[in-house]
Amino acid sequence: MTKLKDITKDLLARWRADYDSDASAHVLNAALAKTDMAELAYVPMNGAKLKGGFSIEVKTRGITAQRKSGRCWMFAALNILRERVAEKCHLEEFELSQNYLTFYDKLEKANNFLEMVIEHASEPLNTQRMRYVLRAMDDGGFWCEAVDLIEKYGVVPKQVNPESYQSEHTDLFLKTINRLLRKDAMELRELVQQGKAPYARKEEMLAEAYKAECIAFGQPVKQFDFAYRDKDEAYHCDRNLTPKAFYEKYVGQDLREYVPIINEPTSDKELHAPVAFHAIENMYGRDMKALNLPQEELEELCLKQLKDGEPIWFACDAGAFGARKEGVWDPASVQYEQLLGGFDLSMPKGAGLEYRSYASNHAVLLTGVNLDADGQPDRWKIENSWGEDVGEKGYFVCSEAYFRAYGYEAVIQKKHLSEEQKQMLEKPPILVNAWDEDAGW
């Protein structure tokens, strides 16, 4: 067979003739010339099959909106805790402050960035590790990081520490602060390489980051009164609370009793084993851990927790077969491949992750599931954090086909794990480099 090196005139002529003879391709070209791809790719009758009630459903209290920020992981974590506060206080609606944790999230990421720069100051800049470190910070995060932040700083009601424009539109702030951090990295590396102590200068750098955050997000509340009326219109006021005292009194949940369960059947991750990786976003430099299980076991644990009346922090690929306006995630309902000529996008789940075609890039709450006549899941209810203007007033649905291919992590209370699964947690974890696990979980 002749090796193809160049795109020749003969090839171009053959491809042109094939296209010219394809009437349906011309119709699609005319449609795409004036219409958004997302509009044309959606198949309404298939999407309609996923609508309706759910045989198992957990009540939640309102849709949140992360706006133009990448804080889905934080919104999902806080929305689980929100339900506990609302139950204790008999509230129909309630929201915890995302801006409060946003402030400390960025401060801890800046600190960890500078620490990693100092730790690896003698390493060349062109190594995989340093290229990864010098990406600096973004909005992204993980369940494990949310736990670290909440345990250290507590939580507060949104009414006492509301969002700012910058917390809801983080792009320019992040670009600016990352330029500052990279400049700081250059200076810290030079200090270490010259044999000088870097930590006094590092403290000054963090002070600059702290002030910039105060200007952008507002300084976090330190003490506050929690005043509210419950659903019976009774007035309550709890005075002089600190964020940690509020968490302990009104949430009171041991977050270490939750276990991240993943299904990532890649060549570097054994099933039925814990997996750990270190990420720049991890505020304490601890490895993040999860238990890698087969898809069937992950789904079984999700069913147990939903039946127990608790929503589930869930990570998935929001870019795969999603109709944002309609609130549907489903390969049969969103057909970009058919719209562009009829090619096939499907890959085995593990290969899709390894080739970067699939990615765990969004966190939501699973709040329901529908079981078919055989008692098997056929669709899942999702509380998203994209506001009430999309989906069914902010709620989405995904098909079982989407869940199996593009669902990657569910955070489950340890009590739902089998004894065998609990024993798996005691195994030495499989260590994965952060730069090999770019999408995260």
- Tell me the catalytic residues: 72, 362, 384
| β-strand partners of 312 | 366
Cβ contact 320:347 at 8 Å: no
The DSSP-derived string for 402-437 is HHHHHEEEEEEEGGGS-HHHHHHTTSPPEEE-GGGS
3-class DSSP state of 161 = coil
**36, amino acid identity:** D
| β-strand partners of 228 | 236
In this structure, what is the dihedral angle of CA atoms 366, 367, 371, 375, given to the nearest 10 degrees? Answer: 80
* Integer Rg of the chain from CA: 24
Burial class (CB in 10 A: 0-12, 13-18, 19+), 89: middle
Cβ contact 191:198 at 8 Å: yes
Enumerate residues 6+ apart whose C-beta is below 8 A from 377.
299, 303, 369, 370, 371, 400, 403
Cβ contact 387:259 at 8 Å: no
Torsions phi, psi for 303 (to 5 deg):
-60, -40
Type and span of the H or E element at 314: strand 312-316
Cβ contact 430:273 at 8 Å: yes
Cβ contact 97:157 at 8 Å: yes
Enumerate residues 6+ apart whose C-beta is below 8 A from 214.
none
| β-strand partners of 273 | 292
| Alpha-carbon span 286 to 299, nearest angstrom | 28
